[in-house]
Structure 1
Amino acid sequence: MIPYSYSLHKIDNTVDFGFDANDYSRFKFGDDLVARSFGKDLADGFIKYYLADNLITDQIVVISSPYSFIPTATFAMKNYFVSQLNRWLVENGGLSIQEAKVHRTITYKEDYGELSAEERMMLIGNDSFHIDKDFLEGKTLLFLDDIKITGSHERMILKMAKEYGLKNEIHMLYFAELVNKNIHPNVENFLNYHQIKSIFDLEEIIESGNFCFNTRIVKYILNTSANSFSIFLERRDNRFINQLYDLSLGNNYHTIEAYTTNLHLIKNYIKNNNYKLI
């Protein structure tokens, strides 16, 4: 099974990425405005370089990168990709898009973007991906991810497809792809943290009115030193704090030792605040 692969930006050097590194960093930490821009641009690129000459008349299913309970940053980009692509498909006689989810079973503390190709495969190789095979039957599948660095996620997706016996036409779509193999995979973290150097750099994004939670920002907050975390927590409203706690529990972060101190701080904050209300 050889899927069609498309990436909007090809990274062949570490000076000019073809997109703004600060925008990418903000996107990875929940800036929904950037997610909108990235999603629309990816849809427009896929239309221009593929669909315009190869209209897909079958039912299309768009599938964001795998997650357990908290979506990844790609999920926000996916929403705008679908909206933009739907408009074009309907205007050109295609069917409106359906969506599906790849479920994953393992959550981990390690920062994936810092790892080498071998380390990435060792880490993700312990995971398992699951999808509703019956729902996908006879449909064309578009798997979306924000960036392709070593291809380990793609290999896991294709492994899942093989295990499920999927015969579908598959497309792997990326906002960006590292094409220069002489560049170390940790260039991903160079992009991820280009604008975010501390927990307090998150505040502008969170208070912008265009913020959405994702796995990266939750893990980053929980992994912050207790002192900085306490100051950060005091500046947040109850809605944010409760959502942060519920998402953390939903993703089983309470089972990761490195996060327990800050989760206890959140729990105590919620308890004390509820007591004040009573």
Structure 2
Amino acid sequence: MTTTYSLHKITHPGHFGFCPDDYSRFKFGDDAVAEKFGTSLAEGFIEHHLKGQEVPQFVVVSSPYSFIPTATFAMKNYFVFHLNRWLAAHGHPVLQETKVHRTITYKEDYGELDAEQRLKLIGNDSFHIDRQFLTGKKVIFLDDIKITGGHERMILKMVDAYDLSNDVYLLYYAELQNKSIHPNIENHLNYHFVKSIFHLEKIIQGEHFFINTRIVKYILNYDFDSFCIFLQNQTDKFVNLLYNMALGNGYHTIEVYQKNLNFIKNYLFNRKHKSIQHGN
């Protein structure tokens, strides 16, 4: 059995049911918004699918990633925290978690593409999951937004390939239900607050920041001169984190990222060299 649930249904290009600026900040690492989104999604799921029911062992799976987590991963954390409190209070087993591994990373901005382009882009990707761990459990696949259903089709393709017999829930914070709206509405949401690299500073330098794939790719792909100015305004802690995440996802092998990555590498080397010179 496959069940789909979305908290917000988008039927009009100007009305979303949530704040577009919040969504944009969430996509670029604002963990406070991730908490708000994850908590409200858990509340909706409890109300519509769990209240008054016998609740079995659930396993939660965030959207697929390789090394750097997605924005959805941060939302998943708070979904789990809130739902576990309800499950424990009502004598149900708390959630378990596992991961869908993916094999391909791409430089394209998924939110800009139409349905055909999206399917073509991710069609060569492959997803992998621990089938044995899922035996006898219901599985919740969590994602932030459903636009064309391309990622959902890849998830269900994996379910078929692994011959999973589990009941599956596909959960989204929001879903585009009006198919007359172009899929690039996702890009409108993604960049509603983040208009340039310098808008990231309020997120990165705030109290609640959680690095994710989107922000790393965005920074590495940015205009070099602006990127250099931006980077020199950041803490060493953030620059090191950015570099480590980029290497972990293999971004040093992608040509369009190499110029900015080499600048980060040299920047960190020079900072370390100066620190040694001054006896720190």
TM-score bracket for this pair, using the shorter chain length: over 0.9
Task: Count matched residues.
Answer: 276
Instruction: Say whether residues 1:149 and 2:147 are aligned partners.
Output: yes
> Counterpart in 2 of 1:103?
101
Secondary structure at the residue paired with 2:73? helix
> Counterpart in 1 of 2:18?
19
Q: Provide the rounded CA distance (Å) in 2 between the counterparts of 1:53 and 1:72.
A: 33
| Aligned residues with identical type, % of pairs | 63
User: How far did 1:277 drift?
Assistant: 1.4
User: How far did 1:231 drift?
Assistant: 0.5
Q: TM-score, normalised by structure 2?
A: 0.97
User: How far did 1:135 drift?
Assistant: 0.7
**Aligned residue among 145, 160, 163 for 1:162:** 160
Secondary structure at the residue paired with 1:172? strand
The amino acid that maps onto 2:111 is G
User: How far did 1:14 drift?
Assistant: 1.1
User: How far did 1:54 drift?
Assistant: 3.0
Q: Provide the rounded CA distance (Å) in 2 between the counterparts of 1:145 and 1:117.
A: 17
Instruction: Say whether residues 1:217 and 2:215 are aligned partners.
Output: yes
> Counterpart in 1 of 2:51?
52
Q: Provide the rounded CA distance (Å) in 2 between the counterparts of 1:55 and 1:34.
A: 31
Q: Provide the rounded CA distance (Å) in 2 between the counterparts of 1:176 and 1:134.
A: 30
Secondary structure at the residue paired with 1:141? strand
> Counterpart in 2 of 1:241?
239
User: How far did 1:96 drift?
Assistant: 1.0
Q: Provide the rounded CA distance (Å) in 2 between the counterparts of 1:237 and 1:15.
A: 37
> Counterpart in 2 of 1:74?
72
Q: Provide the rounded CA distance (Å) in 2 between the counterparts of 1:55 and 1:253.
A: 45
The amino acid that maps onto 1:23 is D
Any unmatched runs of 5+ in structure 2? none
> Counterpart in 1 of 2:39?
40
The amino acid that maps onto 1:36 is E
User: How far did 1:53 drift?
Assistant: 3.5
The amino acid that maps onto 1:219 is K
CA deviation vs aligned residue, 1:26-70 (integer Å, no higher than 9, x gap): 0000000000000000000000111114332x2110000000000
Kindly report structure 1 stretches of 4+ aligned residues shifted beyond 3 Å.
none
User: How far did 1:181 drift?
Assistant: 0.3
Q: Provide the rounded CA distance (Å) in 2 between the counterparts of 1:15 and 1:108.
A: 30
CA deviation vs aligned residue, 1:188-219 (integer Å, no higher than 9, x gap): 00000001110000000111110110000000
